């Protein structure tokens, strides 16, 4: 089968594309909707919003999550905020500006039409969340408050203290529980998707494992939606939740869904630095802190004085120096690389010299401690709990860490993958952020996809598809079930000596070393040798305790790491193939004289879509060319 990446972007001026498309899409009439079953995997902002909305529209929905409750999906950990082009601040914001900032912020590697739609529906999201009772921050007059975020010169970020993701997710979860109570959604918590069932070329169901009883079973449907998040945990240490994994999208990839731009990963500049070998995850300190915190390192390498003893003249506020117009609010990729650069020069601070200061001294002086406490109190507390240092007294120490993956399954304008009937939403798809995501845009995209896009486009798919019923004992169903059982048995039966944890750590070390903040052709080639060798050892020397018929967290982890082992290789291959620097993908060989990312638009202005070609076969690259008709291609500058 030859794959063609057809974006299916509607014709006409960009402002009218979505409205026109909504009119041109076929509808399913209300009485017929209940005859369709839609599976939604993942209950974060994207999946939860889609499940609740599809049920409200009248579809039968089956929703799945691996956590014990849909309320715990990793969207909950987002701190800073959600963007929307409301222009409530009267500071010159507009849909066009949000669109422009996002395309530019993504370093011109996103699809314009999708980004424009995202900016359009951003305003509806805020209205929706307010109506649900999301307690956004307010001004004294009762109107919604905004803050600034990186990569933008307007204040368009809505927030709920440092817990915006939590509050948006609870709004979404409550809508989902409402639909569960009404009977429109059947919820399967502690249930993990382990494969996709494809019948006659269309996604018709999934195979799951009940994580308490170990029961492996098939669920059939008319369409499948994956809202299963990103794959940052391929690096072992990341800001992702421990359970976040790529299994659902990777299994779909192996069943025919093209994987787009796997090497586009975001390294977030402000995380608490690594403290020791035992470390199990990294903790983000919200980007919103850069509104009031100033980033600096000592001017001189090897300056070991305590931060408060270093006078102003000996400090280098390097973001303000290098990027005067955006300063501490430079986009994430740029701020991360700048931090790495000063640490490479030996000017890093803290144990191991991998850290920079984020200092609130000046804002506390200017605004008073109470204001800072009100804005960031919970973040300061979290920092103190982890590091045992009081950020009101001494500057925070921060360092970049893996945070988000812009790559994901390829989708068209309807958010449908290359497998008809398989839709992919939120971080799990590749569509809106190009090579770098701006702060406060992940929550926006998750909810845009889940509340306002996929519930409509899925109707168009169902109205056009002529779907025959699939029997429980269809050969494809039986075959997929058998494949999952065999794989589970294989993981349990290796009987080796090494734990999953140790393999995962080693994979993470390889990826951080060679496919992290700075990448070289040589390094990537080394990784492409080390990863298959590690994978070979994994399948020969892994030890998974316990059985498949019980709650077995080691088995769950082993299955996820097995998939990361394959995905890691594809990421390195994609990074090697993309011989340019753009956004979070920085190839050392391709930089401007002053060390900024250097794109090669004539050769690489495309989405790299990788097709799985079978075990042991080289994946096949398909290209979706990107054209920029509304935002002129230019070298990104935040100076």
CB of 108 to another protein, least distance (A): 31
Catalytic residue among 156, 332, 375, 437: 332
Restricting to residues 474-493, name those near another protein by CB under 8 A: none
CB of 213 to another protein, least distance (A): 9
Q: Cβ distance 419 to 201 under 8 Å? A: yes
CA atoms within a 13 Å half-sphere pointing along the CA-CB vector of 440: 34
Residues 6+ apart with CB under 8 A from 590: 579, 580, 581, 597, 598, 600
Number of helices followed by number of strands (H, E) in the chain: 18, 19
Q: Which is closer to another protein, CB of 144 or CB of 467?
A: 144
Helices (H), 276-315: none
DSSP 143: P
How does DSSP assign 316-360, residue by residue?
Answer: E-HHHHH-TTTGGG--HHHHHHHHHHHHHTT---SGGG--EEEE-
* Coil, helix or strand at residue 568: helix
CA atoms within a 13 Å half-sphere pointing along the CA-CB vector of 606: 17
Q: Which of 324, 493, 546, 595 binds another protein (CB under 8 A)?
A: 546
Q: Which stretch binds another protein (CB under 8 A): 109-117, 254-262, 294-302, 549-557?
A: 549-557
CB of 404 to another protein, least distance (A): 15
392-431 mask for another protein (x: CB under 8 A)? ----------------------------------------
Long-range contacts of 30-35 (CB under 8 A, 24+ apart): 30/57, 30/58, 33/57, 33/58, 33/59, 33/459, 34/58, 34/59, 34/60
Integer-rounded Cα Rg, in Å, for the chain is: 24
CB of 161 to another protein, least distance (A): 6
Restricting to residues 160-189, name those near another protein by CB under 8 A: 160-161, 163, 165-167, 170, 173-175, 177-178, 180-181, 187, 189
Restricting to residues 333-372, name those near another protein by CB under 8 A: none
Q: Cβ distance 572 to 515 under 8 Å? A: yes
Restricting to residues 550-569, name those near another protein by CB under 8 A: 550-551, 553-554
Give yes or no: 255 in active site: no
Distance CA 201, CA 418 (A): 10
Quickly tell me which residue has 């700048």 as its tokens: 338
Q: How far is C-alpha 40 from the chain's CA centre?
A: 18
53 near another protein (CB under 8 A): yes
CB of 366 to another protein, least distance (A): 22
Q: 621: which strand partners? A: 610
67 near another protein (CB under 8 A): yes
128 near another protein (CB under 8 A): yes
Q: Which stretch binds another protein (CB under 8 A): 67-75, 194-202, 415-423, 433-441?
A: 67-75
Distance CA 462, CA 333 (A): 40
CB-neighbour burial class of residue 450 (10 A; exposed 0-12, middle 13-18, buried 19+): buried
Q: Which of 388, 594, 602, 629 binds another protein (CB under 8 A)?
A: 388
- Strands 37-41 and 422-424, bridge-based pairing: unpaired
Q: Which stretch binds another protein (CB under 8 A): 121-129, 354-362, 515-523, 574-582?
A: 121-129
Q: Which is closer to another protein, CB of 2 or CB of 280?
A: 280
CB of 271 to another protein, least distance (A): 11
Q: Which of 1, 278, 312, 468 binds another protein (CB under 8 A)?
A: 278
Q: Which of 452, 461, 564, 606 binds another protein (CB under 8 A)?
A: 452
252-271 mask for another protein (x: CB under 8 A)? --------------------
30 near another protein (CB under 8 A): no
Q: Which is closer to another protein, CB of 279 or CB of 520?
A: 279
Q: Which is closer to another protein, CB of 1 or CB of 181?
A: 181
Q: Which stretch binds another protein (CB under 8 A): 215-223, 323-331, 381-389, 412-420?
A: 381-389
Residues 6+ apart with CB under 8 A from 553: none
Q: Which of 1, 143, 618, 632 binds another protein (CB under 8 A)?
A: 143
Restricting to residues 193-252, name those near another protein by CB under 8 A: 212, 241-243
91 near another protein (CB under 8 A): no
Q: Which of 27, 275, 486, 521 binds another protein (CB under 8 A)?
A: 275
Structure tokens at 131: 């109506």
Q: Which of 488, 563, 562 is nearest to 214 (CA)?
A: 488
Q: Which of 27, 370, 386, 521 binds another protein (CB under 8 A)?
A: 386
CB of 290 to another protein, least distance (A): 19
* Coil, helix or strand at residue 438: coil
CB of 131 to another protein, least distance (A): 4
Mind telling me the catalytic residues?
332
């Amino acid at each position: 089968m030859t794959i063609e990446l057809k974006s299916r972007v509607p014709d006409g001026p960009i402002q009218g594309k979505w409205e026109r498309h909504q009119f041109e899409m076929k509808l399913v009439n209300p009485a017929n909707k209940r005859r369709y079953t839609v599976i939604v995997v993942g209950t974060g902002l994207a999946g939860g919003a889609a499940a609740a909305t599809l049920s409200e529209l009248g579809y039968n929905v089956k929703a799945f999550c691996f956590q014990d409750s849909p309320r715990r999906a990793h969207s909950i950990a987002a701190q800073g905020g959600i963007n929307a082009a409301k222009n409530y601040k009267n500071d010159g914001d507009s849909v066009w500006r949000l669109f422009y900032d996002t395309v530019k912020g993504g370093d011109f590697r996103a699809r314009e039409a999708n980004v424009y739609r995202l900016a359009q529906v951003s305003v509806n999201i805020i209205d929706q969340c307010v109506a649900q009772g999301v307690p956004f921050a307010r001004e004294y007059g009762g109107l919604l408050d905004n803050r600034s975020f990186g990569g933008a010169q307007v204040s368009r970020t809505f927030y709920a203290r440092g817990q915006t993701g939590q509050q948006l997710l609870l709004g979404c979860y409550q809508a989902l529980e409402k639909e569960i109570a009404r009977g429109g959604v059947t919820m399967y918590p502690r249930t993990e998707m382990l494969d996709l069932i494809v019948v006659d070329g269309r996604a018709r169901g999934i195979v799951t494992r009940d994580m308490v009883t170990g029961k492996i079973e098939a669920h059939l449907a008319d369409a499948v939606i994956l809202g299963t998040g990103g794959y940052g945990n391929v690096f072992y240490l990341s800001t992702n939740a421990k359970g976040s994994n790529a299994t659902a999208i990777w299994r779909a990839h192996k069943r025919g869904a093209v994987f787009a731009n796997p090497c586009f990963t975001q390294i977030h500049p402000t995380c608490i630095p690594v403290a020791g070998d035992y470390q199990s995850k990294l903790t983000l300190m919200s980007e919103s802190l850069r509104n009031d915190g100033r980033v600096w390192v000592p001017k001189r390498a090897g300056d070991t004085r305590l931060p408060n003893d270093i006078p102003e003249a000996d400090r280098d506020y390097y973001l303000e120096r290098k990027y005067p117009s955006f300063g501490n609010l430079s986009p994430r990729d740029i701020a991360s690389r700048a931090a790495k650069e000063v640490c490479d020069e030996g000017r890093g601070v803290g144990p191991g010299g991998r850290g920079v200061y984020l200092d609130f001294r000046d804002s506390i002086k200017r605004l008073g401690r109470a204001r800072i406490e009100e804005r960031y109190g919970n973040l300061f507390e979290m920092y103190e709990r982890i590091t045992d240092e009081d950020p009101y007294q001494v500057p925070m120490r921060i360092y970049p860490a893996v945070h988000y993956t812009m790559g994901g399954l390829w989708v068209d304008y309807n958010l449908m993958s290359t497998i008809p009937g398989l839709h992919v939403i939120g971080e799990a798809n590749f569509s809106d952020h190009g090579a770098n995501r701006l702060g406060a845009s992940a929550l926006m995209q998750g909810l845009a996809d889940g509340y306002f896009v996929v519930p409509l486009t899925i109707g168009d798919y169902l109205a056009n598809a002529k779907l025959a019923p699939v029997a429980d004992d269809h050969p494809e169903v039986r075959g997929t079930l058998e494949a999952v059982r065999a794989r589970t048995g294989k993981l349990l039966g290796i009987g080796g000596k090494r734990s999953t944890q140790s393999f995962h750590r080693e994979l993470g070390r390889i990826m951080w070393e060679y496919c992290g903040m700075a990448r070289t052709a040589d390094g990537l080639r080394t990784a492409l040798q080390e990863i298959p060798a590690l994978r070979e050892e994994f399948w020969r020397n892994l030890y998974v305790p316990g059985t498949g018929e019980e709650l077995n967290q080691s088995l769950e982890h082993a299955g996820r790491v097995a998939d990361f082992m394959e995905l890691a290789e594809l990421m390195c291959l994609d990074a090697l193939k993309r011989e340019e620097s753009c956004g979070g993908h920085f190839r050392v060989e391709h930089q401007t004289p002053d060390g900024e990312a250097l794109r090669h638009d004539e050769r690489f202005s495309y989405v790299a879509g990788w097709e799985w070609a079978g075990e042991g076969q080289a994946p096949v690259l398909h290209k979706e060319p990107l054209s920029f008709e509304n935002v002129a291609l230019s070298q990104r500058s935040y100076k």
